A and B are shown apart, each in its own frame.
Chain A
Amino acid sequence: NAGVMQNPRHLVRRRGQEARLRCSPMKGHSHVYWYRQLPEEGLKFMVYLQKENIIDESGMPKERFSAEFPKEGPSILRIQQVVRGDSAAYFCASSIYTPGHSQETQYFGPGTRLLVL
């Protein structure tokens, strides 16, 4: 069972371009979370999605950022018109939820390191 996969692992963009980050959850996992780690800071929650639904986007910046988790394919975190302050490591995590089952470990991918020039 492959772990959480993220691609690309490194992404370089110039200011004003778009960045698309992909996350494939572990097999059988229907919950996906995106976190951002700014340089020298801790991980901050951005958004929580289930298939075709955004459950909690309270950590997403109000503009330029969007996320989706379609019925088929990976989850996508999209950043439009990137700025230097968007440079960070973006981590995706997935979990499996079974009603009445208490173990809900979040498994993290290796991250995508975005550098905005």
Chain B
Amino acid sequence: KQEVTQIPAALSVPEGENLVLNCSFTDSAIYNLQWFRQDPGKGLTSLLLIQSSQREQTSGRLNASLDKSSGRSTLYIAASQPGDSATYLCAVGETSGSRLTFGEGTQLTVNP
């Protein structure tokens, strides 16, 4: 059974700092991995999707990497801003079109 863990559970940083969020998964036989953002009381916004054959994806100030063999992914946020404050969720898809298994999330606070 796939299990996804995110560390740290919460993170507070000053504005402008670069930061890394970590995600690990127990079964390396994954199809893809997605990073989402969830704002309080809101739905999920997809940030980046990495296919199992890829090593990283970039979008603006965000960079996600994937090391399938070690069961790890990281989300790097450059030059953090207060608007980046949210909960970041990592989710693993195990086969094409299948369910996603989510981590518990990292609650990020960027202080002005």
Q: Is chain B's interface secondary structure helix, strand, loop, or mixed overall? A: strand
Q: Is B26 an interface residue (CB 8 A)?
A: no
Q: Which residue of B lies closest to A46 (CB)?
A: B99
Does A103 count as interface, using CB distance less than 8 angstroms? Answer: yes
A45-B101, A56-B98 known; A106+B34 contact, CB < 8 A: yes
Q: How many residues of B sit at the interface, in one of the four size bands?
A: 20 to 34
In the complex with contacts A42-B89, A42-B103, A43-B89, A106-B46 CB distance below 8 A: yes
Question: CB distance B46 to A48 under 8 Å?
Answer: no
Instruction: Find residues 83-101 in chain B having any chain A CB closer than 8 Å to their own CB.
Output: 89, 91, 93, 96-101
B34 engages A102 (CB within 8 Å): no
In chain B between 1 and 51, which residues have their CB closer than 8 angstroms to a CB of chain A? 32, 34, 36, 41-46, 49, 51
Q: How large is the interface on A (under 10, 10 to 19, 20 to 34, 35 or more residues)?
A: 20 to 34
Q: What's the nearest-Cβ distance from chain B to residue A75, in Å?
A: 15
For the complex, give the distance between the alpha carbons of A105 and B51 in Å. Answer: 10
Question: Any chain B CB within 8 A of the CB of A87?
Answer: no
**With known contacts A44-B102, A45-B101, A48-B98, A105–B36 Cβ distance under 8 A:** no
Whether A69 sits at the interface, judged by CB under 8 Å, is: no
The complex places the Cα of A100 from the Cα of B41 at a distance, in Å, of: 36
Q: Give residues in B with beta carbon < 8 Å to A.
A: 32, 34, 36, 41-46, 49, 51, 89, 91, 93, 96-105
Question: Which 4 pairs show the lowest CB-CB distances between chains A and B?
Answer: A108-B44, A45-B99, A110-B43, A42-B104
